Structure 1
Amino acid sequence: MKRLILSFVSMLIIGTSGFAAKYKVDHLEPMFWWTGMKSPKLELLVHGENISDLRPTINYPGVTLESVSSVENPNYLFINLIIAKETKAGSFDIQFKHGKKTILTYRYELKSRRKGSALRESYTSKDVMYLITPDRFVNGDPSNDNVKGLTEKSDRANKDGRHGGDIQGIINSLDYLADMGFTSIWVNPMLEDNEPSVTYHGYAITDFYHIDKRYGSNEDYVRLSKEAKSRGIGLIMDVVLNHCASEHWWMKDLPSKDWINFKGKFSQCSHVRTTVEDRYASKEDKKQFSDGWFVESMPDMNQRNPFLATYLTQNVIWWIEYADLEGLRIDTYPYSDKTFLSKWSKRITDEYPNINIVGEEWSTNPAIVSYWQRGKNNTDGYVSSMPSMMDFPLNTALINGLKKKENWDSGFINLYETLANDFQYPNPGNLVIFPDNHDMARIYDQLDRDFNLYKMAIAYVLTMRGVPQIYYGTEILAKSEHGGDHGYLRIDFPGGWEGDAKNAFTGKGLSKDEAAAQKFMKTLLNWRKNNSIIANGKLMHYAPQNGTYVYFRYTKKGKVMVIMNKNSDVSSLDTSRFHEMIQPGDSANDILTGETVTFEDKIQIPSRSVKIYELD
């Protein structure tokens, strides 16, 4: 009888041990959170084998377990918490129980929110952002070029491969960027991209909560933010809401069939963005745009799923809070579900009222771009809380204005009329303007490598209304061989790798024009940095005449006059035409030469040049 009892006890122990072994937590996200957030709600995604068999319990002052939701996949639970305003920072156990028995325990932390976090300063029209493709910028730590567990290895000879640029490289370059006069850095995505190939761009994310180890660690990313801020430079995160990667961990074990659009099966996006605003568009066309996959390796996430919508929203808030971000840039903005975008943008700006967020809507039509900006009174009633959008219409008009012959509908008049469309935007002064970016041929190539036109383009972007953005290498006439091929236009920054023959940081090996371009941009950036007229001034422009275009930025305290002359000859401008702004006898400082000039009845502008005059 004693032997029988002992056998029974042994079976019970073995059974209990085996019972516990069938459960585990593979992912619990967000990994931690903060007290003192405006919204008291927190949703935890829990993923692990058969986790939905268990029921979580929490015992911590100020934290209420509001609800627990299961989905069709038994390997997921969604835990909804309410964190009271008075809750203190600390750690607590989430106990996962089967009946009354605790099977698993997970330690969760609530951190103290950084003082002033909600009212953080963000980038504005006083700033100039420097856009970096991190893999191609500077290799500051060669030891992380190849990392165990991450498939693609370093191959600098491969235009589409990983070249080794990293977070340490950006940190090492901050003094250069500050000296140049940049005040913000927008870095292409650095979250884990563990696809088999072409991962350097970062837009196919396999883990939304971890920096790709080939760039460094989460802690390195935070250090980058701190080091940048100490030099007066803010960090802007590149956010992807529309899609994940085909190798994302949840693609192997989806929470539900509707987590990914078209039930997780590839269906090509139409890329017809106007279906969003088109009152005549068919439902089929709308669906094929918003639900279709960007490419086969980027599954389109279904933000109509409430759990996914909350996950994506919390993820962005987590990174803002964790890394003390200055602002955001949102990739492929209109491709996501528009109702989700309305709620998402409101939730982020409710939590951070001063934060600036710019969305990518690659359209040359101001009516399409303006649809998304906060304050726009759309005829369909759509409400957006997005503060800013990328000004693709002005970018295209700038290239055409500089390259095309002057006519009634081309050349400078096209640039002038595009700017005249600013009445369509609620806040044109907050649009992000740029000569080029990571998806298009370099500006120097777009302008047929004409240095004079390049200087006009840069001067225009750095004196026009809006928030300027400069792509890395544009300051040294970076070229995009083979047209707009992404692998070639996202070239390695010279001097970013040991042994580089050319070094943009020291000037070694730069051509005469490359060095001159760098000096030209540095002069304008540092002049602009503390110039309230350019940052906040009003704008008046004059219809182009005979290959010249003139505009003014002005406040009660001063004026800046910009003149572009595309002609092969000197142009003589009648001062009286600009009587609202200047008079003969007025003196001004030539920003590019440092000379003082006095305006007479005629203003002589050298051939194929730009002049920037500042008047008291």
Structure 2
Amino acid sequence: MTSKAIHSKSLQVEDHGIARIEPPNWWVGFKKNDLQLLIQHPNISDAVPSVSYLGVSIKKVHKADSPNYLFIDLLIDKTAKSGKFSISFKRVDKDDLVCIYELKSRKKPSENYIGFNSSDAIYLITPDRFANGDPDNDIIEGLNEKIIDRSDNSARHGGDIRGIINHLDYIEDLGFTAIWSCPLLINDMYQGSYHGYAMTDFYKIDPRFGTLDDYKELALSMSQKGMKLIMDQVVNHCGLEHWWMKDLPFKDWINHQRSYEEGIDSGSLKATIITSHRRTTNQDFYASEYDKKGMSEGWFVSSMPDLNQRNAFMAKYTIQNSIWWIETMQLGGIRQDTYSYPDKGFMRYWAGEIMHEYPSFSIVGEEWTINPLIISYWQNDHQNRDGYNSNLKSPMDFALQDQIVRGLNQEESFSTGLIDLYKGLANDFAYAKPEDLLVFADNHDMSRIFTQLREDVVNTKMAMGYILVLPRIPQVYYGTEILMSDSSIPGDHGLIRSDFPGGWEGDEVNAFTGEGLMDAQKDMQLYLKKLLNYRKNSQAIHKGKTVHFVPENGIYVLFRIFGDETVVCILNKNEDDFLLDLTRFAEIELKGKAVRNIITGYEFFWGDNFTLKERGSMVLTTKK
């Protein structure tokens, strides 16, 4: 068969032949030269695949339990060049099938994928609720959820990728250097699909958010501004309407698969497949195997089947999917959802494979615990008693978040109040690299910080001022800058993820322009803007030494020091004037030096004392 004939037949097959091949393309030039293709097509298991392309060979072909799948192990050696080639499938008593596969050239080497770090400030967005840049994609024919209703907190509201692109200048101007968007992959569920965490195709952007080209445009536009794109990924589960749930490749592709299939036959899902949520079984020396499996093998919720990463094909599929998105989008990081729920051996393998290929990359993992011992367990290079090394750079610091809120809400005493903030930071001895932890005031799963702090504007400023000077990677949830609240129904997820005012045509309030905002909201917006933009260029905050003093008299003082730059954060709970004795901080050697209030611009010389005029936060710098 001539190459022209192959090409002609391939075009026809691409339209009407192989139903699915994943990953849909790959690249040459990786450190590892293997690739496993998932082929899904009716009765494809009887076919014999072959490849004729220089540098590419088939190592092994695996049949699945379902006759509609093949898994092909390819070797891609150093002689392989970028280009398209044919994969032929010879079938007995049937026409042969041919599909075209492409190997691309990589845009940059692995070492040039630079992740986020403590010099960054991350803006977290729930895309359906941020801004509707393209109303034409609000409702897509053929998808299961067809309603747009901004009055319904659990329905889709229409925000999309174009809405983020349209407001990149706003985000950059606030002082953020990275964006973490909640998942943008398709969630073709019947209801509650707006949040993005019930994927029904791991290689497809949800058309209600836009297209892959839109996502690439977002990444490119951010890169041109020097900003990093962080992708929210999920390896623990998929959505119940995922395309493979109607024909699972293996008998153990998902956890509790037999219970699921028996439930389908009987018309209901068995409650026994839900996880126990007892995450401490990951570290517990005394945990029974029963309890460990009850946590890691259970489904997160009944609408999210739990993926079985102990299946080697699932493990490979998931790792390749993450790498595909890193290369396709030129990512600046991954946020991994429900990090402690999958098999922890797999999570070490998954993160290790990514960090081996991209040594300067960053991954942040969600483990919702207020126990620093558990947080430290999940961080790379922590000396765990069981020998476990996670390969995870950045766990989320839920513990410090909890202590910040508790300390600001409590009355001051010897053992409560600002001392909680102090003790929270004092736990840094437990961490391998505390500066790599992700700290935050709130996120898409918890009440807004303004709500948590009982709608106290001053305390909210104190929380944010403190977070932005800590030896951490800070994340700020969209709307925090304008005091968004869920106080009417605290903790309601749909309300926590409310629409950002001004993101929809006709909104009476526009936070992007300031139109209609109350004075307190404008003031908070400006407060964060000044702090974030100072933070961008502050070596003291990025990598300076940290010194803090035990809170006294309702005042907590923390210093960040690097070379000639010293940043001072003062948190003051006193309502009346208070004369602060500065001689207590003599070891910092600031006496006689000029310091400037980053927010107000007020300058003075550091002497023996200073009068604090009102309750609140003060961030000072010696930097001119």
**TM-score interval for Structure 1 and Structure 2 normalised by the shorter chain:** over 0.9
Q: What displacement does 1:413 show?
A: 1.2
- The 2-side partners of 1:176 and 1:117 are apart by 31
**Is the counterpart of residue 551 in structure 1 residue 544 in structure 2?**
no
Name which of 216, 219, 222 aligns with 1:222.
216
Counterpart residue number, 2:173: 179
**Is the counterpart of residue 487 in structure 1 residue 487 in structure 2?**
no
**What pairs up with 1:520-559 in 2 under 5 angstroms?**
520-559=527-566
Q: What displacement does 1:571 show?
A: 2.4
- Map Cα deviations across residues 109-147 of structure 1 (whole Å, 9 max, x no partner): 000011234421221111101000000000000000000
Q: Contact between 1:144 and 1:213, CA under 8 Å: does it hold in 2?
A: yes
What secondary structure sits across from 2:204 in the alignment? strand
- The 1-side partners of 2:414 and 2:350 are apart by 43
Aligned length: 595
- The 2-side partners of 1:213 and 1:275 are apart by 39
Please identify, of 106-115 and 400-409, the stretch whose mean Cα deviation from structure 2 is larger. Answer: 400-409
Q: What displacement does 1:99 show?
A: 5.5
- Map Cα deviations across residues 331-377 of structure 1 (whole Å, 9 max, x no partner): 00000100101111110001111001100010000100111111111
What secondary structure sits across from 2:512 in the alignment? coil
Counterpart residue number, 2:265: none
Counterpart residue number, 1:5: none
Q: Contact between 1:501 and 1:509, CA under 8 Å: does it hold in 2?
A: yes
Counterpart residue number, 1:564: 571
What is the Cα-based RMSD across aligned positions, in Å?
1.4
- Map Cα deviations across residues 119-176 of structure 1 (whole Å, 9 max, x no partner): 2122111110100000000000000000012111212121100000001000000011
The residue type equivalent to 1:598 in the other structure is: F
**What pairs up with 1:409-424 in 2 under 5 angstroms?**
409-424=415-430
Counterpart residue number, 1:592: 599
- The 2-side partners of 1:602 and 1:537 are apart by 25
Please identify, of 236-245 and 548-557, the stretch whose mean Cα deviation from structure 2 is larger. Answer: 548-557
What secondary structure sits across from 1:56 in the alignment? strand
**What pairs up with 1:336-375 in 2 under 5 angstroms?**
336-375=342-381
Identity of aligned residues (%): 50
Q: What displacement does 1:100 show?
A: 10
Relative to structure 1, the CA distance from residue 392 to residue 32 in structure 2 (aligned partners, 3 Å threshold; closer, same or farther) is same
Q: Contact between 2:365 and 2:394, CA under 8 Å: does it hold in 1?
A: yes
The residue type equivalent to 1:294 in the other structure is: F
TM-score by length of 2: 0.94
Name which of 227, 238, 244 aligns with 1:250.
244
Q: Contact between 1:333 and 1:359, CA under 8 Å: does it hold in 2?
A: yes
The residue type equivalent to 2:137 in the other structure is: N
**What pairs up with 1:388-407 in 2 under 5 angstroms?**
388-407=394-413
Please identify, of 493-502 and 23-32, the stretch whose mean Cα deviation from structure 2 is larger. Answer: 23-32
The residue type equivalent to 2:478 in the other structure is: Y
Please identify, of 603-612 and 285-294, the stretch whose mean Cα deviation from structure 2 is larger. Answer: 603-612
What secondary structure sits across from 1:579 in the alignment? helix
Q: Contact between 1:40 and 1:82, CA under 8 Å: does it hold in 2?
A: yes
Counterpart residue number, 1:88: 81
What secondary structure sits across from 2:388 in the alignment? coil
Q: Contact between 2:186 and 2:205, CA under 8 Å: does it hold in 1?
A: yes
TM-score by length of 1: 0.95
Q: What displacement does 1:556 show?
A: 2.1
Q: Contact between 1:117 and 1:321, CA under 8 Å: does it hold in 2?
A: no
Q: What displacement does 1:52 show?
A: 0.3
- Map Cα deviations across residues 287-309 of structure 1 (whole Å, 9 max, x no partner): 11101111000001100000000
Counterpart residue number, 2:144: 151
Q: What displacement does 1:584 show?
A: 3.5
Name which of 442, 446, 450 aligns with 2:452.
446
Relative to structure 1, the CA distance from residue 252 to residue 109 in structure 2 (aligned partners, 3 Å threshold; closer, same or farther) is same
Q: Contact between 2:54 and 2:79, CA under 8 Å: does it hold in 1?
A: no
Q: What displacement does 1:583 show?
A: 4.3
Please identify, of 581-590 and 275-284, the stretch whose mean Cα deviation from structure 2 is larger. Answer: 581-590
- The 2-side partners of 1:511 and 1:191 are apart by 36
- Map Cα deviations across residues 554-586 of structure 1 (whole Å, 9 max, x no partner): 012321111100122222221111111034322
Counterpart residue number, 1:168: 162
The residue type equivalent to 2:545 in the other structure is: K
What secondary structure sits across from 1:335 in the alignment? coil
Counterpart residue number, 1:31: 24
Q: Contact between 1:575 and 1:582, CA under 8 Å: does it hold in 2?
A: no
What secondary structure sits across from 1:284 in the alignment? helix
Q: What displacement does 1:101 show?
A: 7.7
Counterpart residue number, 1:133: 126
The residue type equivalent to 2:249 in the other structure is: P
Name which of 490, 507, 516 aligns with 2:514.
507
Q: Contact between 2:186 and 2:201, CA under 8 Å: does it hold in 1?
A: yes
- The 1-side partners of 2:471 and 2:409 are apart by 22
Q: Contact between 2:110 and 2:359, CA under 8 Å: does it hold in 1?
A: no
- The 1-side partners of 2:115 and 2:168 are apart by 18
Name which of 189, 194, 211 aligns with 1:195.
189
**What pairs up with 1:38-77 in 2 under 5 angstroms?**
38-77=31-70
What secondary structure sits across from 1:469 in the alignment? strand
Q: What displacement does 1:489 show?
A: 1.0
Counterpart residue number, 2:392: 386
